[in-house]
C-alpha cells in the first residue's frame, strides 16, 4: 500500500480511504467488521464516517458499528486514522429534533463531538470534518470551539466537506488570524463525470495546503460499467442506464470501450484516474461487500500514461482554473 501525507500535516494516510456510509443501512454489522478487517489487512488505514450515517431513525448507527469494531482490540483503533463529520441535525432527548442539534454553533460542535466519541468508543478523532459550511455561524466561533477540542485532546485536526473555494479561503484566513492550523483536508464530489471542482475548489485547496478526498468516485455507479452491467444483469444498472440521455450514453459507451482497450474494469480506471490527479490525497471507496473492496484495490496497480489521460480528457472534458478555463 502506498501512503501519503494528509495535506500539510505529518499524518500518513493510505491512497484509498474506506468510506463507511453503507455500514448499517446496506451492510450489517458482521459484514461491516469483515470489510474493515480486510481493509486494514490490505494497508488501508484511513477510514471516513459521519455522525448522521445510518440515516433516518438510525442516525449514528454507522459510528456505533465502527465503535464495536474498535472494541475488538488487536490494535484496530491504533492503526486507524479516523475521520468523522458533524453538521446534520441529530435527535435530542426522546428522539425528536431539538434546536442546536445541528450545524456549527460552538454548542453543537461540543455536543456533536462528545456524542461521536461515545458512539465510536474512542477518546479522540484524528480528523473532525464539517460536513457543510454554516453561513450563520462566524468563523471565529467555529475555530474557538475547534481549538478547545484540540486542547482537550478530543480531536487532532479539522477538515471540511462540500466547501466552495472561497469558503476554504475565508476559513483559512480566519484561522491564520488566530494562529490556528485551520483546515487540513477537503472532501468534494470529484470524478470523471463531475469535474467542476477543478475551477476553484482544487486550486484553493492546493494553495492552502489541504489534502483533497474525493467522494463518489464512480458517480453513483455510472463510471463502474453501467452499460455493460445493464446488459448482463438488468436490475439497478438497467434502471440507471434507462435514465441516461443520449449524450450521456454515447459518452459512457466511449468510456467503457476505452476501458476494454486498456484491459481494466471501468470502475478501476475511474479510481486510477483520480489517483493520477495531483491535488488528490485519497478517493473514498464505499464498499457494500468484500468483493467491491477488492475491485477498488486493483486501481492502485494501474498506471495511466499521458495518452490514456488525454483520451479520458477527450471523453470527459475537464476544467482549468481561471483565467485559462475562459480563454478563447
* Residues annotated as catalytic (active site), given as ranges: 53
Which residues, 6+ apart, have CB-to-CB distance to 135 below 8 Å? none
Residues 63 and 118: their CA atoms lie apart, in Å, by: 9
Q: SS3 for 175?
A: helix
Residue whose C-alpha cell reads 475491485 in the numeric block = 295
What percentage of the chain's residues is helix, strand, coil (to nearest 5)? 45, 15, 35
Grid cell of 263 as nine digits: 484491459
DSSP 267: H
User: Taking the mean position of all CA atoms in its chain, how far away is CA 45?
Assistant: 14
Angle between helices 246-262 and 306-315 (to 10 degrees): 170
The answer to whether 13 and 282 have CB atoms below 8 angstroms apart is yes
Residues 238 and 281: their CA atoms lie apart, in Å, by: 33
Which residues, 6+ apart, have CB-to-CB distance to 69 below 8 Å? 32, 33, 36, 37, 76
In 280-328, the DSSP E strands lie at 284-285
Residues 93 and 108: their CA atoms lie apart, in Å, by: 14
The answer to whether 9 and 277 have CB atoms below 8 angstroms apart is no
Amino acid at each position: 500500500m502506498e501512503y501519503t501525507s494528509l495535506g500539510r500535516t505529518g499524518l500518513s494516510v493510505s491512497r484509498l480511504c474506506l468510506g463507511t456510509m453503507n455500514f448499517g443501512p446496506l451492510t450489517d454489522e458482521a459484514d461491516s467488521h469483515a470489510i474493515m478487517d480486510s481493509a486494514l489487512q490490505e494497508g488501508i488505514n484511513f477510514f471516513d464516517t459521519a455522525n448522521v450515517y445510518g440515516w433516518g431513525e438510525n442516525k449514528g448507527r454507522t459510528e456505533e458499528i465502527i465503535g464495536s469494531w474498535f472494541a475488538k482490540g488487536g490494535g484496530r483503533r491504533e492503526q486507524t486514522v479516523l475521520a468523522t463529520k458533524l453538521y446534520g441535525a441529530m435527535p435530542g432527548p426522546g428522539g425528536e429534533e431539538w434546536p442546536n442539534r445541528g450545524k456549527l454553533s460552538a454548542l453543537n460542535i461540543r455536543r456533536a463531538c462528545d456524542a461521536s466519541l461515545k458512539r465510536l468508543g474512542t477518546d479522540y478523532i484524528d480528523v473532525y470534518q464539517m460536513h457543510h459550511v454554516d453561513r450563520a455561524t462566524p468563523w471565529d466561533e467555529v475555530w474557538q470551539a475547534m481549538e478547545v477540542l484540540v486542547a482537550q485532546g478530543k480531536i487532532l485536526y479539522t477538515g471540511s466537506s462540500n466547501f466552495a473555494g472561497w469558503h476554504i479561503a475565508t476559513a483559512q484566513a480566519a484561522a491564520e488570524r488566530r494562529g490556528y492550523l485551520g483546515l487540513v483536508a477537503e472532501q468534494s464530489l470529484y470524478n470523471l463525470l463531475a469535474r467542476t471542482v477543478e475551477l476553484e475548489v482544487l486550486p484553493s485547496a492546493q494553495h492552502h495546503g489541504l489534502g483533497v478526498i474525493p467522494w463518489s468516485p464512480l458517480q453513483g455507479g455510472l463510471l463502474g460499467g453501467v452499460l455493460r452491467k445493464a446488459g448482463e444483469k438488468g436490475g439497478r444498472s438497467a434502471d440507471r442506464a434507462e435514465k441516461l440521455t443520449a449524450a450521456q450514453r454515447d459518452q459512457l459507451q466511449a468510456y467503457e470501450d476505452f476501458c476494454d482497450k486498456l484491459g481494466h474494469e471501468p470502475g478501476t480506471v475511474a479510481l486510477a484516474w483520480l489517483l493520477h490527479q495531483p491535488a488528490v490525497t485519497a478517493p473514498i471507496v464505499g464498499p457494500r461487500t468484500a468483493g467491491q473492496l477488492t475491485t477498488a484495490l486493483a486501481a492502485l496497480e494501474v498506471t495511466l500514461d499521458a495518452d490514456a489521460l488525454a483520451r479520458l480528457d477527450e471523453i470527459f472534458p475537464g476544467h482549468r482554473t481561471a483565467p485559462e478555463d475562459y480563454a478563447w
